[in-house]
Amino acid sequence: MSQAKILVSGGGGYVGRFIVEAFIAEDYEVVVAGRNAPAHGFFSKATGFRPLCLGEEPPHDLFDGIDCFVHAAFDHVPGKYRGGEGDDPDAFVSRNLACTTRLFDLAKASQVGCVALLSTRAVYGTQIPGSVLTEDTPPHPDTLYGQVKRGAEEHLQSLSDAAFRPLSLRVTGVYGPGGLGQQHKWHSLFEDYADGRVIAPRVATEVHGVDVARALVLLVRTGASGIFNVSDCVVDRHDLLRVVAETTGCTHPLPDPADSATLNIMNTDKLHARGWQPGGWPLLERTVREMVSSRSSDTDSGP
């Protein structure tokens, strides 16, 4: 029996590329949908390509032969999700909610059996300080980004039936190495530290892009449906930059530890029960050391 065919919108994006690589590693046939075809060598193996632009009507044959659709595309101001609407919130909602719901409707009408949405912890919005967030915690999105993602979740879940499995992954901050021609998310932070700039304390929850992708593959493979939190480490900038300092020998002062008592940590028991095991702090530390070492090698090599 042939392996399922997966369509990944936004597959060339910061998180989407991890998803594409995870399905490639499991021998799925992967097709990437986006504005432009991936550059040669962007992925470890060649993928298919279908044009898709949020804000335009999707091609009627977009889902031909597709068994599972992963919607990781999101149109926003570069580098921003919260505040990603810029000065045109109406167009932001149209591209990312109205177009997304049309995609979900078309996927179901095209008999795609499973549709997965890359959602966000931002759907929870403001909660009681220090409370733990479970999938049953009532969402209170307080940003347009969170509201759009919550609207997409609700529409997708409303389509559920015996032949259609909706999946929503509420993902926390995602870290990992940059793709071909891309910078990793902490590039500017590490540069600021190396240059001796004052860095404000901050603590947040993080998960490696590889672990997000593994969670998604696991859920698709095991026939899961519903909403799942995806989170791993609590990361304080003090500890993060300590790893950078140890790796580079930099002696600039570290930021003070932040107050983590009010942080809302996401409970991931539901995902762990299906066998998901993220890399935790050892993976984060190893990744940071590789990021810093790679940057040092690039600098040492000169122009």
Q: What is the pLDDT of residue 149?
A: 95
Would you state the pLDDT for residue 145?
A: 92
Q: How many CA atoms lie less than 13 Å away from 112 in the CB half-sphere?
A: 30
Decide if 195 is inside a domain: no
Residue-level pLDDT at 3: 77
Q: What's at 59, amino acid-wise? A: P
Domain assignment present for 97? yes
Q: Provide the CATH number for the domain around residue 12.
A: 3.40.50.720
- Per-residue model confidence (pLDDT) at position 80: 52
- Sheet of strand 226-230, all strands in order from the earlier edge strand to the far edge: 48-51, 29-34, 5-9, 68-71, 114-120, 165-171, 226-230
* Residue 43 forms part of a structural domain: yes
Query: How many independent structural domains does the chain possess?
Result: 1
Range of 137's domain?
5-177+206-231+265-279
- Give the pLDDT confidence score for residue 41 in this predicted structure: 87
Give the rounded distance of the alpha carbon of 11 from its chain centre: 11
Mean pLDDT by 10 residues, the chain (303 residues): 83 93 96 91 93 90 97 74 65 89 96 97 96 97 94 97 97 90 90 96 97 98 96 98 97 96 97 97 97 64 35
Does residue 297 belong to any structural domain of this protein?
no
